[in-house]
Structure 1
Amino acid sequence: MAVRYLLLILPLLWLSGCSSSPDDNDPTAGMSVEELYEAAREALDNTNYEEAINLYERLESRFPYGPYAERAQLEIIYAYYKYGETETAILSADRFIKLHPNHAHVDYAYYMRGLSSFRLEPSFLNRWFDQDMTERDPQPSREAFRYFSELVEKFPDSRYAEDAIGRMYALRDALAKHEIHVASYYYKRGALIAAANRAKHIVENYQKTEQVPEALGIMVRAYRQLEMNDLAADALEVLELNYPNHDETKKAKAAS
């Protein structure tokens, strides 16, 4: 008897469990695409980035096509960036560029991709330990430079081009500083050929940065110790000609 009663009640329990769906607890369940977009945009404007991300994701999931889905795909890039999810922002920008290469605002996706890789600002721990940002892994800076460069090349008249160019100058200077750290490291440890080659790389690829005279100074010292006197003299000549009053020039002349 008990078994028959259990068999009768189980289907009722199953139907009861199925009567509530995940949407019952979703306040956006009945929203139209316009309403969902406005809610996401309001969250974004109010700096509630986590909520904005959730709403944009729901919008695209429910309404994957049309202008509102495109807006959501574009605006969620900024939401991820502000929320600190920079890698996801880059992936989202890449996705938008691939899906909408001719979109009227695709230049914004290019710009946000570069901005998300622009990691020169020190974090709390970096400030705490007074770490020089140019001693860190330069790969994010190289990627940011490449992303900004693509923006400027493809959209020279973009409203974001001027800011991108300014950031490219800062990135180039930071990359040159990183190369100087490496060249100095090699020189201090007696890897003179490696030091000279790295310094030469700076002179050839980072012209007009503040690191060029220091790179030339490293070349002069390294070549002298290697007894490559002709190369040392050539480096010194370039140093004297372009930076006659620089400390590196004075040191190199005094040691000659």
Structure 2
Amino acid sequence: MSKFTSRILLVVLALCLGGCSWFQKKIEEPIKDAATMYQEAHEQMASGTYDTAIKSYEKLQARYPYGVYAQQAQLDVAYSYYMTRDQASAITACERFIKTYPNHPKVDYAYYLKGQALLGEGGSDAFSSLITPLQPLEQRDPKGLEEAYDVFRQIITKFPNSIYEPDSRRQMKALTDALAAHELLAARYYLNRRSPLAAVNRAQHVIKTFPESASVEEALSIMIAGYDTLGIPDLRDDTRRVLSQSYPNSIYLAKR
């Protein structure tokens, strides 16, 4: 046997031994069951290591894609994304759960978490909100507020006995006030820019669309000023009467 052939045999033998050792090691590694994997991921989430928890939950779902642990893992992943302020991923995870398990006992929670994520809330601690403070609701994109409103509306409609129903109603009230206040900002802007017709139209929209909001009082006041600038005294006086009857102590009566 030549020296070259001997060297080849030695290399092959070394590879075989190494491979067998690796194979033996893989056999000896215990395969964790779904319950164990879920418990480990849940402990990571509970300790606030959300990024690590997300990876652990995803491993669980890849190995055991069916069953109660995989289902709960999807919800926990959504929550973990929410707590890291990755709102887009949280919303996507909630929507996936709702689509996959529309009759799940906890699907109302998926709706509720989606609504909170649409509001841009979340964060694992109070300090995170100091770093990236949230805008007041009325200053945000109204499209997102409208989407969140619709999600909370679905909760009270589809799940009237849900534990999230009372807070969903509270959120809807806050969103109604915010959307009305957003329109009022525009009406005020147009009035200050001497565009009375645009100001009146925006103020009318507040009154018609959000009649129960706190912005109606000022909206009436803006309409009075707008009609006065436009030279329409009849509509001005009619609106003033509505303001005085609806808000007899209004601070705007003296101004208008």
TM-score by structure 2 length?
Answer: 0.83
Shift in Å, 1:20: 7.0
1:7-46 superposed matches below 5 A? 30-46=31-47
The match for 1:54 is: 55
Q: Provide the secondary structure at the position in 1 that maps to 2:48.
A: coil
Q: State yes or no: 1:221 paired with 2:235.
A: no
CA contact (8 A) 1:199 1:219 kept: yes
CA–CA separation in structure 1 for the residues paired with 2:253 and 2:14: 88
Distance 1:196 1:13, change over 3 A: farther
Unaligned runs of 5+ in 1: none
Q: Displacement of 1:231 after TM fit?
A: 2.1
Aligned length: 245
Could you list the structure 1 runs, at least 4 aligned residues long, displaced by more than 4 angstroms after superposition: 4-17, 120-123, 130-133
Please tell me whether residue 150 in structure 1 is matched to residue 154 in structure 2.
yes
Q: Separation in 1 of the partners of 2:44 and 2:36?
A: 12
The superposition leaves residues 1-20 of structure 1 with CA deviations (integer Å, 9 ceiling, x where unpaired) of xxx99999999999979x97
More displaced stretch, 213-222 vs 202-211: 202-211
Match of 1:196 in 2: 200
Q: By how many angstroms is 1:36 displaced?
A: 0.5
Q: Note the alpha carbon deviations across 1:174-228, whole angstroms, 9 max, x for none.
A: 2221111111111111221111011001111222322111100000110111122
SS for the counterpart of 2:105 is: coil
- Measure, in 1, the Cα distance between the counterparts of 2:38 and 2:130: 35
**What is residue 144 of structure 2 aligned with on the other side?**
140
Give, as a single letter, the amino acid of the residue that structure 1 aligns with 2:241.
Answer: E
Q: Separation in 2 of the partners of 1:59 and 1:175?
A: 41
How far apart are 1:234 and its partner, in Å? 2.2
Residues 202 and 212 of structure 1 are in contact (CA less than 8 Å); yes or no, is this contact kept in structure 2? Answer: yes
- Write the distance in 1 (CA, Å) between the matches of 2:94 and 2:206: 32
Opposite residue 47 of structure 1, the aligned amino acid is G
CA gap 1:227/1:47 in 2 versus in 1, 3 angstroms? same
Taking the aligned partners of 2:121 and 2:203, their CA distance within structure 1 comes to 23
Q: Is the 8 A contact 1:119 1:141 kept in 2?
A: no
Q: Indicate conservation of the 8 Å contact 2:137/2:175, yes or no.
A: no
| Contact residue 145 and residue 168 of structure 1 kept, 8 A | yes
The answer for the alignment partner of 2:236 in structure 1 is 232
Residue 114 of structure 1 corresponds to 115
What value does the CA root-mean-square deviation take over the aligned residues? Answer: 3.2
Matched, 1:177 2:181: yes
Q: Give the TM-score normalised by the residue count of structure 1.
A: 0.83
- From the superposition, tell whether residues 151 and 132 of structure 1 become closer, same or farther in structure 2 (CA, over 3 Å): closer
How many angstroms apart in 2 are the aligned matches of 1:120 and 1:85? 10
CA distance in 1, matches of 2:213, 2:59: 47
The 3 A distance-change label for structure 1 pair 12 and 110 is farther
Q: Deviations over 1:135-161 (max 9, x none)?
A: 232332222111111111111110111
